[in-house]
Amino acid sequence: MDIEYSITRRPKRRTVSIIIRSNNQVDVLAPSLMPAYLIHRFVEEKQSWIHKKLQLNEHERANYQPKTFTAGESFALMGKTYQLHLTDDLKTAIHTAGDQLIAPAFETDKLKKLLVSWYRQKAEEHFQQRSQHFAADIGVAPSSIGVKTYKSRWGSCHHDGRIYYNWRLIMAPEWVIDYVVVHELCHLIHHNHSKLYWQTVEDIMPDYRQAKAWLKNDGLKLDL
């Protein structure tokens, strides 16, 4: 088998699962006491699926164009596209106006830093609001809501009730954001991806599969 992978063992896990990261890293999550040969056999059986996912990642990266932070470039916020407009008034705060994203004409590195800060603030505000909204529907109470920079995940839920979201998610359509919010909040009930967990997600968001597919196909675009 020509697939390299890492194994992460977790005491509360009952089944084996495979995660293909956007950088083509293959991670295998397994129960603590599962023998290595059984894990290897499972990966062998999934070779065809793994190769398809790796090829899809390569295709997505080939089509990915990093931002240049030049006037007229497109930037997304909650699924809406804005054209970057640079102003010589360097005291201007970043904001949207119509279909434009107004920003001061700083050099690239400084402008990127300001835009990241602006996106993070927007993310914190929106994720707080949507988390409170869905938490009431689900009947849970997260201990805190925050944003982080993740390379290969859109959110995380901790056993003490803390939930973090990838700030880049604020670029996605609102219905996709809502899926991730529901996904993480449901982990406050089920700290796994069991059938009961997915049923809880589906009860709140019947069309969650479309959002999940959107992230797999277009998630690479959510970046600066």
Q: How buried is 141 (Cβ within 10 angstroms: 0-12 exposed, 13-18 middle, 19+ buried)?
A: exposed
Report all structural domains of the chain as residue ranges with CATH numbers, in order of start: 6-63 (no CATH), 107-221 (3.30.2010.10)
Please give the residue that has the higher pLDDT: either 218 or 107. Answer: 107
In the chain, the percentage of residues whose pLDDT exceeds 90 is 75
According to the model, what pLDDT value does residue 64 have?
67
DSSP state of 147: E
Give the DSSP per-residue string, 88-129.
Answer: S-TTPPPEEETTEEEEE---HHHHHHHHHHHHHHHHHHHHHH
Rounded average pLDDT over 153-158? 93
The predicted-structure confidence for 43-69, as pLDDT tens digits, reads as follows 999 999 898 888 877 766 666 677 899
According to the model, what pLDDT value does residue 21 have?
77
The predicted-structure confidence for 105-148, as pLDDT tens digits, reads as follows 999 999 999 999 999 999 999 999 999 999 999 999 999 999 99
Task: Say what the pTM is.
Answer: 0.77
Give dist(CA 119, CA 99) in Å, integer: 16
According to the model, what pLDDT value does residue 60 have?
66
DSSP state of 72: T
